[in-house]
Amino acid sequence: MRIMAMMNQKGGVGKTTTAVNLGAALAEAGQRVCLIDMDPQAHLTINYGLEPSGEQANLYDVLCGDQPLKQAMHAIGERITIVPSSIDLAAAEVELVSVIGREGVLKRKLAQVDCDFDYLILDCPPSLGVLTLNALSVADEVIIPMQPHFLSLQGVAKLLETIALVSERMNPALKVSGVVLTMFDAQTRLSAEVVHELESFFDAARDKRLPWSAARIFATRIRRNIKLAESPSFGQTILQYEPSSNGAADYRALAKEIIDGPEEDSGTRIGTEANAAPAPEMAGSISVDVAQCDQSDESKSEPESESIAPLKSD
């Protein structure tokens, strides 16, 4: 089972749209998928036509109550299972504060169920709080949905620092598999510059022991497509709502790319010595405190031995 967290502390970048429709496209391709809605806004839950009223067993009951995770797994169709969110989940950040090992609650609950999925996808809230930390504690991979804006790059540094901390202290297996460019417009020069900046940044990490040293920009760009914005209000995925739209095509392509893994000969693929471009310093370029994040020294603390403050204090 591959466990993937859709993470970006910025809101409105396409995390939920990607979790919903990538999940649907993976299921359409024959994969068994479980989607966990980690966001109190419950957009993923609503997008799958479920009520976030809290009446059915949901993630709040699992994280803050004694409900087993299995109870909150609701089968939707043949190969998709949803663990819904509810508005109560907003209280989890506060309620879990006094719980020892609060970042590892989901991990412990997950260990208690016999999962029969190919993919477990976690839709994170737009923050680096305890809910996101719970997602990062169980994930093997982080996928970062991002709009190709310069301001988006600034947020990436903070996000990667959090991932590095979690990887160091709680989940050494955690890796960033890549960035999915969302709401993409190929016409703008800005998009190209952001892509270049990100590629240079990831290339510079290739020989370091960092969670993002194998990260790439997915070759599939998710184009801006109004059908993707319309489908949630019908409680449908894009594959149900408009199966022949660009949005459906893009998420099918992304699913295929994720199932197949990286291909060395792709034009947009990065990470080989040959195409590694020197990184020019641009305004808005990414700067991560690597000294703090680099895990090459051996003095790693035991996983889960320490708590991480939800927001890293500098």
**DSSP 8-state secondary structure symbol assigned to residue 300:** P
Q: Which does 14 bind (CB under 5 to 8 A by kind): ligand ADP, Mg ion, none?
A: ligand ADP
Q: State which residue, 57 or 228, has the beta carbon closest to ligand ADP.
A: 228
Q: How big is the CA angle at 170 (ends 169 and 174), to the nearest 5 degrees?
A: 105
Q: Which does 225 bind (CB under 5 to 8 A by kind): Mg ion, ligand ADP, none?
A: ligand ADP
Q: Which does 77 bind (CB under 5 to 8 A by kind): Mg ion, ligand ADP, none?
A: none
- How many Å apart are CA 192 and CA 205, to the nearest integer? 20
Question: Pairing mode, if any, of strands 74-76 and 80-83?
Answer: antiparallel
Q: Which does 258 bind (CB under 5 to 8 A by kind): ligand ADP, Mg ion, none?
A: none
- Name residues whose C-beta falls within 8 Å of residue 230's C-beta, 6 or more positions apart in sequence: 241, 242
Q: Which does 224 bind (CB under 5 to 8 A by kind): Mg ion, ligand ADP, none?
A: ligand ADP
Interface positions with ligand ADP (CB under 6 A): 11-17, 43, 126, 182-183, 222, 224-225, 228-229, 232
Determine the 3-state secondary structure of 217 from DSSP.
strand
Q: Which amino acid is at 79?
A: R
Q: State which residue, 10 or 15, has the beta carbon closest to Mg ion.
A: 15
Q: How far apart are the first and last CA of the chain?
A: 35
Report the nearest approach of ligand ADP to the CB of residue 248 (Å). Answer: 11
Q: State which residue, 12 or 77, has the beta carbon closest to ligand ADP.
A: 12
Q: State which residue, 126 or 271, has the beta carbon closest to ligand ADP.
A: 126
Q: Which does 229 bind (CB under 5 to 8 A by kind): Mg ion, ligand ADP, none?
A: ligand ADP
Residues 5-24 as x/- pattern, contact with Mg ion by CB under 5 A:
----------xx--------
Report the nearest approach of ligand ADP to the CB of residue 121 (Å). Answer: 13
Radius of gyration of the chain (CA): 19
Q: State which residue, 44 or 205, has the beta carbon closest to ligand ADP.
A: 44
Report the nearest approach of ligand ADP to the CB of residue 39 (Å). Answer: 7
- Name residues whose C-beta falls within 8 Å of residue 171's C-beta, 6 or more positions apart in sequence: 136, 137, 138, 139, 303
Helices and strands in the chain: count of H runs, count of E runs? 12, 8
Q: Which does 280 bind (CB under 5 to 8 A by kind): Mg ion, ligand ADP, none?
A: none
Q: What is the dihedral of CA 135, 93, 21, 187, to 10 degrees?
A: -100
Report the nearest approach of ligand ADP to the CB of residue 17 (Å). Answer: 3
Q: Which two tokens stand for residue 3?
A: 């466990």
Q: Which does 182 bind (CB under 5 to 8 A by kind): Mg ion, ligand ADP, none?
A: ligand ADP
Report the nearest approach of ligand ADP to the CB of residue 96 (Å). Answer: 22
Report the nearest approach of ligand ADP to the CB of residue 206 (Å). Answer: 28
Q: Binders of Mg ion among 25-44, rule CB under 5 A?
A: 43
- How many Å apart are CA 251 and CA 253, to the nearest integer? 5
Report the half-sphere exposure of 251 (CA within 13 A, side-chain side).
Answer: 32
Distances (CA, A) of 74 to 35, 59, 256, 280: 10, 11, 25, 49
Report the nearest approach of ligand ADP to the CB of residue 235 (Å). Answer: 13
Can you list the alpha helix ranges (DSSP code H) found in 175-268?
A: 189-204, 226-230, 238-241, 246-260
Q: State which residue, 122 or 210, has the beta carbon closest to Mg ion.
A: 122
Report the nearest approach of ligand ADP to the CB of residue 280 (Å). Answer: 29
Residues of the shown chain interacting with Mg ion in the complex, contacts defined by CB under 5 A: 15-16, 43
